[in-house]
């Protein structure tokens, strides 16, 4: 029996279309939360939502919702789809955008098929999922889920000294809807895997059962600036060298632990940042992740005790600021089974898996049954302009989303 399918061409075209928005003169794609380039992306998305005949609501943290509801089903809690359209720096075009645009595509397909869902269906684009400009990441969905007061989120300072609230107002997306007022019956997020598993196993669909815990810290190490040529090694209080020790410690500690933990120092800067001056200060971030909460805590504790050793041995001082801390999340088994059943019915090779990346689904899982569908990432690459997923896999993932939406929304 032929299964209803989404309009693959329309979906692929919209992904390319949105992917062209926010490129600089070198062709690099960057749409940081609440930036001018993200505003262009938001405006394009809102135009598409309106053209699809959806009601558009913007909440106070700038989350965008496209709402498809009828008189008959308006009293029911909505089925929510979605993801994010903000990006990292020099990003690919699929991370987040694929889930938002596939959610819209599913709604458009259902409308064209004359489907009448028993409950409203909403597609969301959450603010600041990436957390590159404002920490923590998944900020818009965290506020939506009640995990952070909207006032605190709006007052968050970015890496550029702006506040999220002032920037949302400046780009015209400081909405009025109270965050969380659109409480979902369930939430399903379609996303690229951003890792190597599905491709390595020649699978098309990942039914995501859980998502690993995340710990973000900003560490400032203060030493003593001195002359690079005249200062003997034993007399240095070198903040740069102390920072380098942190990276080596994390890699060696995880290697010895045999755990699936990961550690990343993604940003680092020195002061005074001069070739012939021993750094007086190093400011850097540490991103730690593990699917197991106890192991993640143990890794955080191991880092804290190593920082004490480095402080003593290098004659520096260390201050730590916590930027984000999210425990591992388990998704709804019932929805995971629906994802698996759809893949099997469609003859798509599939497996259950853990998400290595953070996603809005981990926040919405706090207030409603939630799960995720993954499709393969070529070479496991993401957060990189080489990010790519084959068109057939993109369409297959959206068709699985279509099946799951029809089952959860109910109707005829």
Q: Which residues bind ligand HGY (CB under 6 A)?
A: 129-131, 137, 357-358
Q: How far is the CB of 357 from ligand HGY (least distance, A)?
A: 4
Q: Considering the complex, state which of residue 35 and residue 280 has its C-beta at the smaller distance from ligand HGY.
A: 35
Q: Considering the complex, state which of residue 206 and residue 279 has its C-beta at the smaller distance from ligand HGY.
A: 206
**Residue 66 touches Mn ion, criterion: CB under 5 A:** no
Stretch that binds Mn ion, among 71-79, 95-103, 141-149, 296-304 (CB under 5 A): 95-103
- CA nearest neighbour of 279 among 342, 218, 236, 323: 236
β partners of residue 264: 287
Q: How far is the CB of 216 from ligand HGY (least distance, A)?
A: 8
Question: Do residues 164 and 154 lie in contact, with contact meaning Cβ atoms separated by under 8 Å?
Answer: yes
Q: How far is the CB of 293 from ligand HGY (least distance, A)?
A: 17
Residue nearest ligand HGY (C-beta atom): 358
Question: Do residues 44 and 93 lie in contact, with contact meaning Cβ atoms separated by under 8 Å?
Answer: no
Instruction: Give the one entry of ligand HGY, Mn ion, none that residue 96 binds, where binding means its C-beta sits below a cut-off of 5 to 8 angstroms depending on kind.
Output: Mn ion
Q: Considering the complex, state which of residue 79 and residue 288 has its C-beta at the smaller distance from ligand HGY.
A: 288
Q: Considering the complex, state which of residue 91 and residue 254 has its C-beta at the smaller distance from ligand HGY.
A: 91
**Residue 140 touches Mn ion, criterion: CB under 5 A:** no
Q: Considering the complex, state which of residue 318 and residue 357 has its C-beta at the smaller distance from ligand HGY.
A: 357
- CA nearest neighbour of 21 among 41, 36, 35: 41
Q: Considering the complex, state which of residue 28 and residue 264 has its C-beta at the smaller distance from ligand HGY.
A: 264
Q: Considering the complex, state which of residue 105 and residue 130 has its C-beta at the smaller distance from Mn ion.
A: 130
Residue nearest Mn ion (C-beta atom): 96
Q: How far is the CB of 95 from ligand HGY (least distance, A)?
A: 7
Q: How far is the CB of 313 from ligand HGY (least distance, A)?
A: 32
Residue in the structure block whose two tokens are 């730590």: 320
Give the residue, chosen from 95, 287, 290, 393, that forms a contact with Mn ion under the rule CB under 5 A.
Answer: 95
List the structure tokens of 122. Answer: 């909403």
Q: Considering the complex, state which of residue 92 and residue 131 has its C-beta at the smaller distance from ligand HGY.
A: 131
* 3-state SS, one letter per residue, for the chain: CCCCCCCHHHHHHHHHHHHCCCECCCCCECCCCCCHHHHHHHHHHHHHHHHCCCEEEEECCCCEEEEECCCCCCCCCCEEEEECCCCCCCCCCCCCHHHHHHHHHHHHHHHHCCCCECCCEEEEECCCCCCCCCCCCCHHHHHHCCCCCHHHHHCCECCCCCEHHHHHHHCCCCCCECCCCCCCCEEEEEEECCCCHHHHCCCCEEEEEEECEEEEEEEEEECCCEECCCCCHHHCCCHHHHHHHHHHHHHHHHHHHCCCCEEECCCEEEECCCCCEECCEEEEEEEEEECCHHHHHHHHHHHHHHHHHHHHHHCCEEEEEEEEEECCEECCHHHHHHHHHHHHHCCCCEEEEEECCCCHHHHHCCCCCEEEEEECCHHHCCCCCCCCCCHHHHHHHHHHHHHHHHHHHCEC
Instruction: Give the one entry of ligand HGY, Mn ion, none that residue 131 binds, where binding means its C-beta sits below a cut-off of 5 to 8 angstroms depending on kind.
Output: ligand HGY
Q: How far is the CB of 344 from ligand HGY (least distance, A)?
A: 29
Instruction: Give the one entry of Mn ion, ligand HGY, none that residue 369 binds, where binding means its C-beta sits below a cut-off of 5 to 8 angstroms depending on kind.
Output: none
Q: Considering the complex, state which of residue 96 and residue 397 has its C-beta at the smaller distance from Mn ion.
A: 96
**Residue 96 touches Mn ion, criterion: CB under 5 A:** yes
Q: How far is the CB of 365 from ligand HGY (least distance, A)?
A: 15
Q: How far is the CB of 82 from ligand HGY (least distance, A)?
A: 15
Q: How far is the CB of 132 from ligand HGY (least distance, A)?
A: 8
Phi, psi of 205 (to 5 degrees): -125, 135
Instruction: Give the one entry of Mn ion, ligand HGY, none that residue 300 binds, where binding means its C-beta sits below a cut-off of 5 to 8 angstroms depending on kind.
Output: none
Instruction: Give the one entry of ligand HGY, Mn ion, none that residue 108 binds, where binding means its C-beta sits below a cut-off of 5 to 8 angstroms depending on kind.
Output: none
Phi, psi of 386 (to 5 degrees): -80, 0
Instruction: Give the one entry of ligand HGY, Mn ion, none that residue 137 binds, where binding means its C-beta sits below a cut-off of 5 to 8 angstroms depending on kind.
Output: ligand HGY
List the structure tokens of 91. Answer: 């990003």
List the structure tokens of 343. Answer: 């893949």
Q: How far is the CB of 101 from ligand HGY (least distance, A)?
A: 17
Instruction: Give the one entry of ligand HGY, Mn ion, none that residue 340 binds, where binding means its C-beta sits below a cut-off of 5 to 8 angstroms depending on kind.
Output: none
Q: Considering the complex, state which of residue 357 and residue 400 has its C-beta at the smaller distance from ligand HGY.
A: 357
Question: Which chain residues interact with Mn ion by CB under 5 A?
Answer: 95-96
């Amino acid at each position: 029996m032929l299964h209803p399918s989404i309009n693959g061409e329309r979906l692929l075209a919209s992904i390319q279309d949105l992917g062209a928005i926010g490129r600089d003169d070198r062709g690099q794609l960057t749409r940081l939360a609440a930036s001018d380039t993200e505003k262009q992306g938001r405006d394009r998305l809102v135009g598409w939502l309106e053209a699809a005949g959806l009601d558009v609501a913007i909440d106070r943290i700038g989350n965008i919702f496209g709402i498809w509801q009828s008189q008959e089903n308006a009293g029911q809690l909505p089925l929510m789809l979605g993801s994010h359209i903000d990006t990292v720096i020099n990003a690919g075009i699929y991370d987040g955008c694929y889930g938002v645009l596939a959610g819209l595509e599913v709604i458009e397909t259902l409308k064209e098929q004359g489907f009448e869902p028993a409950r409203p269906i909403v597609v969301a684009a959450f603010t600041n999922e990436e957390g590159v400009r404002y920490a923590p990441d998944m900020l818009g969905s965290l506020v939506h889920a009640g995990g952070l007061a909207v006032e605190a989120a709006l007052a968050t300072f970015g890496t550029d000294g702006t506040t999220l609230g002032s920037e949302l107002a400046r780009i015209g997306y400081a909405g009025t809807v109270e965050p969380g007022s659109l409480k979902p019956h369930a939430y399903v997020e379609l996303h690229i895997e951003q890792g190597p598993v599905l491709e390595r196993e020649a699978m098309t669909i990942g039914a995501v059962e859980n998502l690993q815990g995340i710990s973000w810290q900003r560490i400032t190490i203060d030493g003593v600036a001195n002359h690079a040529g005249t200062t003997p090694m034993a007399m240095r209080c070198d903040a740069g060298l102390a920072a380098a020790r942190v990276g080596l410690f994390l890699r060696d500690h995880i290697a010895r632990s045999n755990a699936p933990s990961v550690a990343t120092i993604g940003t680092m800067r020195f002061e005074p940042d001069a070739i012939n001056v021993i750094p007086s200060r190093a400011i850097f971030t540490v991103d730690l992740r593990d699917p197991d909460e106890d192991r993640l805590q143990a890794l955080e504790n191991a880092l804290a005790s190593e920082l004490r050793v480095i402080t003593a041995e290098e004659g520096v001082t260390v201050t730590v600021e916590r930027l984000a801390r999210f425990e591992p999340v388990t998704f709804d088994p019932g929805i995971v089974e629906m994802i698996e059943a759809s893949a099997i019915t469609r003859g798509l090779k599939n497996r259950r898996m853990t998400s290595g990346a953070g996603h809005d689904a981990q926040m919405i899982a706090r207030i409603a049954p939630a799960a995720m569908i993954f499709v393969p990432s070529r070479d496991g690459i993401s957060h990189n302009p080489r990010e790519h997923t084959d068109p057939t896999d993109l369409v297959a993932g959206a068709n699985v989303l279509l099946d799951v939406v029809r089952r959860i929304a109910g109707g005829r």
